[in-house]
Structure 1
Amino acid sequence: MRAVQAIKKMVALGVGLTMVGATVFGASAASLADYPAPFVVNGTPASNLAVVVGAQADGSDVVGAVDIIQSLQAQAVVTTAAAGAPSQLVVEGDAVEIGSTSDLLEISEPIGDVRETLTEVDLDMLRGGQIVTDEGSTEFNQYLRFALPGSETTGAAGSLNSSAVVFAEDERDRVGHYLHWEDGRLLFTWELEFEEGLESEVDANGDLVDLEDEDLTILGQPFVIVDTDMVIAGFGTTTNGTTLTSGGNAGTTTDLVIQLIGGAVSAVLGENDKETYVVDGKEYEVEVLVISETSQGGEGSVKFRINGEITDELADGETDVLADGTQIGIRDILATGKDIQKSIVQFYLGAYKVEFRDTNASDQLATVAGAEVNEESIEDSFVVIRGLFTQNARIATSLAGAQFEVQNIRYNLTADAVLGDMFVPPGTGVREHLDEPEGMLTPNWDIRYEGLMDTGVTLVRLDAAGDDEYDLEFTNQEGIFYDFPLASAESGAIGVTAGAGNAVNSLKYGDDDDDLWFTEFNNTFAAPFTTTQSVLRQNQYYITDDDFFVLSNCDVGQDVAGAADNTCFSHVMRYDSFDSTNRQLTFTDLGTGTREVTYDSTTTVADLVVGGVTYRVGVNTTTGNLTADLNGDGDLGGLRGNRTAVVIGIQGEGILNLGVQLNPLLVLNGAGTSGVSYPSFNATGSENISANLLDTWPTGSFNLSLLTLTKEFDEATVNENISINITARTGNEIGIGGVTMTSGGFFSGLLDLEENDNIEQGLSGYGVFFELFDPEGDTEAEDLTIEYPLSQRGARVFVTGGVVTTSAVETGAGQRVQPIQIGAARLDSEVSDVKQFNAIVIGGPCANTVAASLLGSAAEPCHESVAPNKAMLKLFEHTNGNVALLINGRTAQLTRMGARSVATGGLGNVQGMEAEVSGTTFNDVQVRAV
């Protein structure tokens, strides 16, 4: 039904993309239960709302009309997200977010551009400490670094980029937003720094004896150094008569290995002791079977029985893996070999072993695959251990007695996912996507992506009206929703197939019958307008009856792409009628309702106040056509010698640039000049100025641009400009030729969804989300839905240590009243055709002529149109999609009772299009469907 179709056009502002196409009535017929729709839908009053009472009505009818308007105004409220953050992500535990309110992590921005280095100030897992050895003491610090593009090298893989959140297609062809690294690019750098240097004596075997059994913490995990090993290549040999020493002669390299063990449970048992421990909720019975004091060169070894399973013989620093994957690792063995003193072993259950190796600790180059975790080589690791000898005998051939100082350990890990590039979807972390998750060094920390910021959005839609027209839907910065015809390629539309010189594949602004104007042309009148209409030629009055035009006070100048101001009120108007007798012009604001203004008899100019801004309109009193000050600067013409096009400011401070219109030039007999928009002449020579062609004639396409200014970004040097190409196609069809970026930073382009080949999606750097719906095998034009964020969408990336929980918390919302415009209340004498309104008609046919026209013959005799002691509520549908609700009582008091029942929600459960109201007072009103 057309009434239902009219209501379907009114789409809620906040509806998500999964709800695009949802309707108020769905597939069912109109019903009284849907009140206040279609008079108020989703908090927005209908633009053609009328509440009609009879000119000679009783006072009770008037009071009933007041009740109705008050009830509609109470419903005309839209909910708006709290500024900048309709919900907040709460992360509990040891965690730090990369971005902040003062420095947003933008889409496509590298992590290191926002936080290059994390320390213990940011994360407890990076806490430092102190190590005291026989050679001295030193403070140690930990750092976690994310490199800027090109700023970090690994010594093997060259210059590596840090990470960024992008919108892309992952390795499994799934489209979405991800925290992304290219394969082989740097994930992070972890550094352990020893402020005063970690010194140790070196024994004859190359062990740094003072380091062994020292405790330190790495990325939140306690470890102990269980073994070290130094080998100097060529040490003690003679080259060209020179004995190579540890002093660093040419040809020597210091190959250094440092092994560490930590674990969930640290315990000490004696030989033949037995104890039960719990790891990750599972019990383990551990028994020490034997401790040998003679094995391993006198260092000793140990064997365990754990839950019945016997381990390998283990020495200091060695580990064994149980059947369930749990590791046991040895920290220290004290094998006495004496009856009076039991041998003991200190061990870790749930052990975690890390080994760092630098094949030349005397240089700054990294050793590829220089780390092992739990006996597994980390192929994508790069290790640098910086150290030097502080004391040594240069002629000695033994390391014994030398002293070596470790200054720092630096560990780089590069991206290596199972399928190639790493794509981390929202709600997951880097660890689970690594081919070697052990490369994170310890098991309890991660780099997590929790999605894009929830900023709230406003919708912009290019809604296909069949296969030859587009409507444009948006919400302005006042929160008012608009839906108007943007472009048409319909066969027979003036300016498309009519007139010589027009190409069949041309487009026009507006629909097939009426034009859309958003450009002031270079007239001769500047503000203040005092010259009479005789100065203007007829074609300079280009707005004709039923044309649409845009009023907008956005001050962007002629260079829209380089605009610097985006705060403005934009309204789309329709020119309805010209009354020369009363000097009255009637307009409809498509978002708020009807406006009437009176023009000056001398200047033929009127002031039209919309959104608090005064726009001047001039009328040609011969033709009734208009010229208008579209940008509110008081000048009825464009800039001298130029055209002044206005743009639309949308909710969220975005700007819509509708394209370019050329002058409606006076061209005789339709002999047009290519590339211009022109009026044609008919046979009698009178001007027809409704041919509003596009600037791109005859190619038949134009670009609708969505602009976000640099000032709306956290960091940007140029405006973001996304261009949507609307094109004419063979057979007078219309469609979207492409969505591209003409300036700005990141734009993914439109990507095909693997799971639904009818949909393409894309995302810009500001966070503007695009979804193109193009059903295969359908001749309908594509639909484009745009989610424009109310503020820039940042990326939520966290570094977490230990157990961390996340949750979304609503921060509240505000409400904005959408005023019912003055003039919505009308007398019946002011309504010549009720079908042009979504009308609520108060009073019966005896008191209201509009009610009589709705009821027709059923209104004779008028006082019997409703049963005694009753009021009737009846919904009428018109073929043009508008509806009328009649509230008709047998008496004026019953009419008021019927209006009160509607105003107080009495229709909520009334299905169908007609109901009966009965009762003796306002307190016992009953409403039932008939």
Structure 2
Amino acid sequence: MEIRKVLRKATAVAASASFIGATLLGAVAQDLSTYPAPFVKDGMFDALIVVGADAQAQDVVGAVDVGASLQFSLKKAATTGGTAEATIDTGWKVQKSGNKLNYGDNVSSVMDSTSLGEEDLPTIFADGKIVESEGDNKNSEKYTQELWFNNKQTSILKYAQDDDDAPKANDYLFIDKNKELYNYTLEFDSNVDYTNTSDTTANDDLKTATIAIQGKVYTITNVQLVSAGGKLDKMTLLSGEAVLWLTQNNPIKKSISGVEHTVEVLDVTEDADACQVKVDDVTAIVDVDETKTINGVQVGITDVRAIHAQLQDVDVCQVSVGASEITIENAKKVKIDDIEVDGSKGWLTSNAVGTWEGIEVTLSPKDLDDNLYLAAGKAFTDPIFNSWKIIFGGISADYEEYSVKLSGDNDATFKFINNDGKTVEIPIYYNESNLAGGKPYTVFLGDGNDIDERIYAAGNKTLQVAAHPGLVRISNCTGTSSVEDCEGMRILATTTGGEAHLFEITDIDTTDNTTDIRDITYGKDYDDVPYTDRKVVAVANSTLDLGSFGNTIVLDINETAKHVGVVKSLAATIETKAGGSIIIDNSQGVNNLSITFREVNRALGTDITDEVTATNTVNVTLDPNSDSELQLFVGGTYLYSSVAAEDSADDHIYVTSAGTKVTSDTENKDSFIVQMPTAEVYGNVFVAPIVAQVSTAASGVSSYTLTKLSVGAAKLDNEISDAGASNLISVGGPCANKVTATVTGTTCANHGIAQGTAMIKAIKQSSGKIALVVAGYDAVDTRRATRVLANYDQYALTGSEVVVTGTSLTDITVKKPAV
């Protein structure tokens, strides 16, 4: 047991004032329920995390956990009304010369037979140089690295749902485990020469040479030839987080994966073919060119020097700490630490014996249990060199929504946004009795069967051609007692620019031959609009002058016949705000009405994106079933059809190649929702270093950006000269951390922390800054408390202080301190 632990135990009972319950001079409580405030504000980290310069590894690991948790807290809510655009702090976006990754596209097609290299990812595929002077040949050759995505049958942007691999219907980057994902090449400008008499002569030339591959330095530890006098067949390389020469009995401290370890060479074998290495308190013998895990750290030995001095041996070993061994053998699976990577193949390229031209590696990710569906924010990391990843940052899209929804057996509502940004709402009605009366049209625009409940519309006869198919037929309102019975009738009309309006005739004055008309869509009234009573055929129809709307509505008003006929109201096909167009057609059959959405404008010219054609359509048909209930049926041209939604088996999603999405209840057939993009829809896919982070902002909704936890935010206690100058998270008790002693006013001999416990305490300093102390009776207790703080959302942290007890990192109890 450490002396300081004994001292703490001896003084804990005798402490005159409990630290956990102490009232500190000048200190004011800060409520823990607000954590991670004030250390995180507006997505920025405003504090220092402090550990003792001589702290145990448990304190360090605990501080790392707290920092990792705070990194996630550095998210800042943002709202945007524009197209979502994912960004990355470092990496390359799959996008070439304006060619983006649209639905159905693959990474290979977007890259168009080009590769990634130093210009795209300089930290991973930097040009390099191999220099070696061993053996008979001296080499100093430059090389380039390239990454190719050549297969068009994988890395595809899809909208999909799979019960096992993609249970939620969504956008995914699809990676086929059985298709080649990538091809990596390292190519020397000039050949590297070696003597190929035997494996021994080849090793004399190449062994111990170092080469940087994908941002990591590898040491060649062994090569083999196909046969004596032949080409290279097999090469073993060793990498590590640190490769260094260690002198016998001179320990060093090294941080591996965020945890500090003490590494020491204790001895070298008599034949200088192995080293005895100690990591912390665990010792093992590691052969040259081999690796071994010691106390959780992978250690490799690449070279040994046995130096026998007069007074004592001072042997040295070249040690790779955190090592990983990779073996490349021609046309065979690549091995990582002697384990084959399924679906991989490697080659040591050469055109002539005695020369080495480079390295080639391919991967079909067969190690995956099944095909991979990368959801937004997810990544696939290269399992061979572990230096880069493919990240799917979701899609960039801004949608405009239209809907057709049923409300009962006979009623529906169609809602869309016109090209002026106004919402147009059109009721639809099914008249079951109309069919029995021998009348052909049973599904009407309107909300009832009475003449003043109907919506009337007509296209000019000159527009009833292929360029504008299916415009709503000419409609007539005929009153029972007079033409005034048609008051309340509504007219669906468009300007010549396709701007849709819904009008209502609110009054017909047969004395003055005027009518009052209300523009329901725009909330505007037109009073006393003159008309001509068309008593005989020779009298012209009335063209209504509706001011800013124009004069595109033509009516046949006949007072004698008690008749108002809509001769023309649709001067052009309806155009939406997104730039698409809508055709309402109830002329195609006996019982139905059809609404078609097109991804091109009214003139069949400009489209909503640069990826569609005039043939792309989305369609819903309103048709009664055998039980005389109105139902909705999906039609159209889709890239992905009838994809089941996660939350309801009734809902299915349909997606066009341009990104229009339709969600329809295909079981109850009562809902049809269209999301039509206002701009090009594309996937945000990145090839990036494994440490890269993606930030996205969803269109028109709250989203988050993530700020990197600042380098330098972690400090040792002896680096803090003024504890009140910053907000602090101080990990470790006063024996291990001088900052804890300062802010709490305690000492190692007088801390008051009971055995088996730890505390989390927030203290407001006289400067106004907050010090959060995480301290335990010993390092294990401290780490348990840091685990609570890292998972703060899982525990009831209230007041200025809590006590943490437990027997492990999973058996944890948090409670208020005893009064």
Closer/same/farther in 2, CA of residues 417 and 578 from structure 1, 3 Å limit = farther
Task: Tell me how far 1:592 sits from its aligned partner.
Answer: 0.9
Contact 2:398 2:677 in 1 (8 A): yes
The question of 1:127 aligning with 2:130 is answered: no
Q: Secondary structure at the match of 2:595?
A: strand
State how far apart, in whole Å, the 2-side matches of 1:271 and 1:136 are.
32
Task: Tell me how far 1:166 sits from its aligned partner.
Answer: 0.6
Task: Tell me how far 1:417 sits from its aligned partner.
Answer: 6.1
State how far apart, in whole Å, the 2-side matches of 1:416 and 1:167 are.
23
Closer/same/farther in 2, CA of residues 217 and 226 from structure 1, 3 Å limit = same
Q: Secondary structure at the match of 1:467?
A: coil
1:410 equivalent among 352, 360, 364:
360
The question of 1:725 aligning with 2:696 is answered: no
The question of 1:598 aligning with 2:530 is answered: yes
1:479 equivalent among 415, 418, 421:
421
1:449 equivalent among 392, 401, 407:
392
Contact 1:203 1:209 in 2 (8 A): no
Task: Tell me how far 1:553 sits from its aligned partner.
Answer: 4.9
1:191 equivalent among 185, 189, 209:
185
State how far apart, in whole Å, the 2-side matches of 1:787 and 1:452 are.
14
Task: Tell me how far 1:322 sits from its aligned partner.
Answer: 3.2
Report the residue type matching 1:712 in the other structure.
I
State how far apart, in whole Å, the 1-side matches of 2:97 and 2:508 are.
54
Task: Tell me how far 1:616 sits from its aligned partner.
Answer: 3.7
Q: Secondary structure at the match of 1:653?
A: coil
Q: Secondary structure at the match of 1:792?
A: coil
State how far apart, in whole Å, the 1-side matches of 2:294 and 2:326 are.
18
Question: What TM-score do you get using the length of structure 1 for normalisation?
Answer: 0.58
Task: Tell me how far 1:231 sits from its aligned partner.
Answer: 2.3
The equivalent residue for 1:657 is 583
Task: Tell me how far 1:754 sits from its aligned partner.
Answer: 4.1
Q: Secondary structure at the match of 1:261?
A: strand
State how far apart, in whole Å, the 1-side matches of 2:270 and 2:526 are.
102
Contact 1:469 1:490 in 2 (8 A): no
Task: Tell me how far 1:603 sits from its aligned partner.
Answer: 3.2
The equivalent residue for 2:817 is none
Deviation string 1:517-550 (CA, Å, 9 cap, x unpaired) is 454264899xxxxxxxxxxxxx966356344443
State how far apart, in whole Å, the 2-side matches of 1:611 and 1:747 are.
41
The question of 1:385 aligning with 2:276 is answered: no
Closer/same/farther in 2, CA of residues 191 and 659 from structure 1, 3 Å limit = farther
Task: Tell me how far 1:773 sits from its aligned partner.
Answer: 4.2
Report the residue type matching 2:419 in the other structure.
Q
The equivalent residue for 2:438 is 500
Q: Secondary structure at the match of 1:615?
A: coil
The equivalent residue for 1:91 is 88
Report the residue type matching 1:95 in the other structure.
G
Closer/same/farther in 2, CA of residues 706 and 211 from structure 1, 3 Å limit = farther
1:796 equivalent among 642, 660, 684:
684
Contact 1:759 1:771 in 2 (8 A): yes
State how far apart, in whole Å, the 2-side matches of 1:648 and 1:610 are.
20
Q: What value does the CA root-mean-square deviation take over the aligned residues? A: 3.2
Contact 1:740 1:749 in 2 (8 A): no
2:402 equivalent among 437, 442, 460:
460
The equivalent residue for 2:68 is none
Closer/same/farther in 2, CA of residues 610 and 187 from structure 1, 3 Å limit = farther
2:306 equivalent among 325, 331, 335:
335
The question of 1:440 aligning with 2:386 is answered: no
The equivalent residue for 1:753 is 645
Q: 1:39-438, aligned counterparts within 5 Å?
A: 85-92=82-89, 94-99=90-95, 102-115=98-111, 116-124=114-122, 125-133=124-132, 134-149=137-152, 161-170=153-162, 171-172=164-165, 173-205=167-199, 207-232=202-227, 246=230, 254=231, 256-294=233-271, 300-316=273-289, 318-324=290-296, 326-336=297-307, 339=310, 342-358=314-330, 367-369=331-333, 371-389=334-352, 404-416=354-366, 418-431=368-381
Deviation string 1:374-407 (CA, Å, 9 cap, x unpaired) is 22111110223320335xxxxxxxxxxxxx2222
Closer/same/farther in 2, CA of residues 409 and 540 from structure 1, 3 Å limit = closer
Deviation string 1:465-489 (CA, Å, 9 cap, x unpaired) is 2122221001112110111113x32
Q: Secondary structure at the match of 1:118?
A: coil
The equivalent residue for 1:157 is none
Question: What TM-score do you get using the length of structure 2 for normalisation?
Answer: 0.65
Contact 2:154 2:176 in 1 (8 A): no
State how far apart, in whole Å, the 1-side matches of 2:281 and 2:329 are.
36
Contact 1:137 1:196 in 2 (8 A): no
Task: Tell me how far 1:604 sits from its aligned partner.
Answer: 4.0
Contact 1:103 1:714 in 2 (8 A): no
Report the residue type matching 2:608 in the other structure.
E
Give structure 2 stretches of 5+ with no counterpart: 1-78, 465-472, 479-485, 534-538, 601-605, 702-819
1:630 equivalent among 549, 564, 569:
569
Q: Which has the larger radius of gyration?
A: 1
1:491 equivalent among 416, 432, 435:
432
Task: Tell me how far 1:587 sits from its aligned partner.
Answer: 3.1
The equivalent residue for 1:30 is none
Deviation string 1:491-539 (CA, Å, 9 cap, x unpaired) is 33xx333x22759xx53444432444454264899xxxxxxxxxxxxx9
State how far apart, in whole Å, the 1-side matches of 2:266 and 2:526 are.
96
State how far apart, in whole Å, the 1-side matches of 2:345 and 2:284 are.
32
In the comparison of the two structures, how many residue pairs are matched? 580
Q: Secondary structure at the match of 1:704?
A: strand
State how far apart, in whole Å, the 1-side matches of 2:241 and 2:511 are.
93
Give structure 1 stretches of 5+ with no counterpart: 1-79, 150-160, 236-244, 247-253, 359-366, 391-403, 432-438, 526-538, 555-566, 633-645, 662-694, 814-930
Q: Secondary structure at the match of 2:109?
A: helix
Contact 1:469 1:511 in 2 (8 A): yes
State how far apart, in whole Å, the 2-side matches of 1:734 and 1:541 are.
22
Closer/same/farther in 2, CA of residues 425 and 579 from structure 1, 3 Å limit = same
Closer/same/farther in 2, CA of residues 552 and 135 from structure 1, 3 Å limit = farther
Closer/same/farther in 2, CA of residues 569 and 757 from structure 1, 3 Å limit = same
Deviation string 1:127-163 (CA, Å, 9 cap, x unpaired) is 11122344443221111111242xxxxxxxxxxx231
Task: Tell me how far 1:789 sits from its aligned partner.
Answer: 2.1
Closer/same/farther in 2, CA of residues 712 and 456 from structure 1, 3 Å limit = closer
